[in-house]
Chains A and B, each alone.
Chain A
Amino acid sequence: MVGEPEGFAQFVEARERALQRTAWLLTGDWGLAEDLVQTALVRSWPRWDRIRRRDDPEVYVRRAMFNTWATWSRRRWRGEQATETLPDSPVLADVASDVAVRLAVRSALASLTPRQRAVVVLRVYDDLSEVQVAQVLGCAVGTVKSTMSQALAKLRDDPRLAEFMGADSR
């Protein structure tokens, strides 16, 4: 019987939903998001005793998550393509706006490069500082700033997001 590393279960319990949400923004699919978080946690599990002694173990888990996702993104065989429209389906009026926002955000994020997407998700959605984002992605703070700037410029011109964002913001 293999024991649980100290604090691992508590970390998973506390953070798995937040990690899954971040993973969804990266992958655009709940199944993939769940798989991505699980893979990152599985990779962190053997080293947990070392990881938990750090100031913020979540940085390590997120880093494992982004590295895994970057590897998946490079695999062309997955053959996934973001699409603006789902196959013909009757959409109920009360969920239409939610679905439209979901599709718009997913499509807009899919138009970014993996690194740009990671920076936007961490910086905007997870509200990490530039230093923290640099730690997670293993790059310089300057790289985070420039990548963020390029990503925002791209999103600013994205017609799918335009209808949901006020003119003053652009």
Chain B
Amino acid sequence: MSEMVTQLRALMSMAVGEPPRRIDAAAIRRRAVRRRLAASAGAAAAVVLAGSIGGAFAAAHGVRTVHPRLSTTHPISVAVPRYYVVRATGAETTVRAVATGAVRDKVRCPWRAPNVAPGVVAAGDQQTFFLVCQKFARPVGWAPVLESRIYMFRITASGKASGLVLVRGGSLVGLRVRAMAVTPDSSEVAVIVLPGRYQAFQIKIPADVYVINTSTGARAVWHAAEPLPYRIVYYPQDISLTGDGRELAFLTMPQCFPSTTGPNCTVHGGQQLRVASPAAHGGQLNNAPILVKLYSILRLSGMPVYDAVLSRDGSTMTLVIQGAVSAMPDSLAIIQIPTTGNVRPRYIYRSGDSGFTFFSADPSVRHFLLGGSDNNGPVDGWIDHGRLIRLPPDPITVDSMAW
């Protein structure tokens, strides 16, 4: 072997480093079995039959449901997205290139009415995005939301936004949207909604979750429990959907409301992740079982978890936590833990002194956008191997980004 080959080998070894994750045989086996089942025509027929029976059952019992999907294996790109969508108060919503930060297009709410402004934005796949437009009662200052509408648009290979259309079933009268999650095939959109007269951050307000089938407009509702005295309620702070749209995970903090005359009520435990399933059937959020007691496994107190996203296969969750983790009391951290919960957290990112503004995962839940701030102002960007790669439009305060 020549000297060049020797040096090349050394450079390659230096460049490669260690893989961030291990691959285990059990996961391979599960995937291989799923692949074999998917390839089987008999399995496909069974899915159709089960869907028909399920639909008939739902119809007979008055359950609001959506059409069963045959395909639950929408391919998800795991590459770093090429474009991201930025929403900032008082500025136009823009599509920007990740590589350069350059504005490739602007997205305007197509709703021809006064006092309309963009709200939450989320990605279906790397080309399909959803934008909430909200109509306010007044043009300036804080004002109630009269109606929210969910629009869908696509981003072309060159970064142009096209085909901005109202999602079927996406008109939400009298409601404000707090958060939105989308399946990778864009067939289902889930939104946390609360009455338009309240602000999105108010967590003591009963907030329902709507799961909307974008093909049919069918809407399933996960109802929040009424705040009756001494009843423990689980109002959703943030939501995510598994890849097949079957499971709806929501981050929540149990709350209790005392009566005006009686003693205070006590709630044991802190933030937790609960799973509503099947997402497209609707039901009571209070009946959704606990997936993980975050306060217990991470020894958290208060509400330090700002965001929680379930992986598409439901095996891991990604959390954004401020403070209270490990030996960095004032840190902002993105961690991943298995939903089985009994494993040490894996740090995706940690910052010693940073505020939190927004967090967004790409459709594969492998790449993350994080908005924060330090002493010098906003710091927004994406996480690459534990480092925050800053993204324009610094230093404008961005409300949220999605990719």
Contacts and interface: CB of A to CB of B under 8 A. Distances in A.
Interface of A: 2, 4, 8-9, 12-13, 16-17, 20-21, 24-25, 29-35, 37-38, 41-42, 45-46, 78-80, 83, 86-90, 98, 101-102, 104-106, 120-121, 124-125, 127, 152, 155-156, 161, 164-166, 168-170
A8 B31 contact: no
Nearest to B100: A87
Contacts of A79: 82, 157
Contacts of A169: 2-4, 6-7
A83 B36 CA distance: 37
Contacts of B5: 124, 152
B77 A87 contact: no
A105 B11 contact: yes
A21 B19 contact: yes
Among B23, B99, B388, B390, find the residue whose CB has the most chain A CB atoms closer than 10 A. B23
A46 B17 CA distance: 31
A46 B36 contact: yes
Contact of B29 (A17, A21, A45): A45
B113 interface: no
Q: What 9 A-B pairs come out closest when comparing CB atoms? A: A9-B25, A105-B15, A20-B19, A45-B32, A12-B25, A169-B3, A31-B78, A169-B4, A16-B23
A90 B394 CA distance: 14
Interface in B33-83: 33, 35-36, 77-80, 82
Contact of A45 (B6, B9, B28, B390): B28
Q: Chain B at the A interface: mostly helix, strand, loop or mixed?
A: mixed
B8 to A, nearest CB: 5
B79 A80 contact: yes
A169 B1 CA distance: 11
12 contacts: A13-B25, A32-B79, A79-B82, A80-B79, A87-B99, A87-B100, A104-B11, A105-B14, A124-B12, A164-B11, A169-B2, A170-B4
Given A105-B12, A152-B4, A38 B27 contact: yes
Chain A interface mostly: helix
B32 A46 contact: yes
Nearest to B101: A87
A166 to B, nearest CB: 7
Nearest to B9: A124
B390 A88 contact: yes
Nearest to B4: A169
Given A79-B82, A98-B14, A169-B4, A31 B366 contact: yes
A21 B19 CA distance: 7
A88 B29 CA distance: 41
A166 B389 CA distance: 32
Contacts of B397: none
A43 B229 CA distance: 57
A29 B16 contact: no
A125 B390 contact: no
A24 B20 CA distance: 11
Interface string B344-388: 000000000000000000001011000000000000010010011
A88 B100 CA distance: 8
A29 B384 CA distance: 11
A87 B6 CA distance: 31
Contacts of B387: 89
Contacts of A41: 23, 28
A13 to B, nearest CB: 7
A41 B31 CA distance: 10
Contacts of A166: 3, 7
A42 B82 contact: no
B180 interface: no
A89 B15 contact: no
A17 to B, nearest CB: 6
B77 A4 contact: no
Nearest to A34: B21
A91 to B, nearest CB: 8
B23 A29 contact: no
Given A12-B23, A17-B18, A41-B28, A31 B13 contact: no
A12 B15 contact: no
Among the interface residues A87, A98, A152, which one has the most CB atoms of the partner chain B within 10 A?
A87
Nearest to A5: B29
A16 B28 CA distance: 11
A12 B24 contact: yes
A8 B35 CA distance: 17
